[in-house]
Amino acid sequence: MKISQKELYGAVVLELHGKLTGGPEAETFRNIFKSLLDDGKKNIIIDLKKVDWINSTGLGILISGYTSVRKAGGDLVLCHVGDRIDSILYVTKLNLLFQSFDSREEAAEYFKQQPA
């Protein structure tokens, strides 16, 4: 799993590449989220366009990130969720937890509309 980081209209976009499977990746994500929150960056967009699939431990990573960000008063949303990952979010009911957008721009617009 490779992770690239960009900023878009005040939100941070984490673009993931490959497969989100948990294990040692969980520590990497924890460190990224800690660093972002330490810098006061608490509006996070996870771009899944280049993620082929995800397993239950990968879902755990997303939930851990979501929990950290929400505790800090921010939010974590998803964009570019493919059919395969969408099915997994649906059967685990995580589609009710994560807001999902078709593009980064739509996700960033969501954050712009949130009260400061």
Partner 1 sequence: MKTDLEKMEFVIPSDFKYLGAVDAAVQDLAREMSCAQRWINDFSSALIEACTNAIEHGNKYSKDKRVRVEVSLDGKQIIARVRDEGTGFDFAPYLSEDSPLDAMSERGRGIKIMKAFTDALDYTLDTNGGLCLKLMKICAIEVDETADGKT
- Rounded CA gap, 50 and 60, in Å? 19
Q: Which residues contact 99 (CB under 8 A, 6 or more apart)?
A: 75, 77, 78, 107, 110
> Smallest distance from the beta carbon of 103 to partner 1, in angstroms?
23
> Smallest distance from the beta carbon of 83 to partner 1, in angstroms?
7
Q: Which is nearer to partner 1, 35 or 90 (CB)?
A: 90
Instruction: Judge contact between 12 and 111, C-beta under 8 A.
Output: no
Q: Which is nearer to partner 1, 76 or 108 (CB)?
A: 76
The secondary element (H helix, E strand) that includes residue 65 is helix 56-71
| Binding interface with partner 1 (CB under 8 A) | 19, 21-23, 25, 52-53, 55-57, 59-61, 63-64, 66-67, 83-84, 87-88, 91-94, 96-97
Q: Which is nearer to partner 1, 8 or 26 (CB)?
A: 26
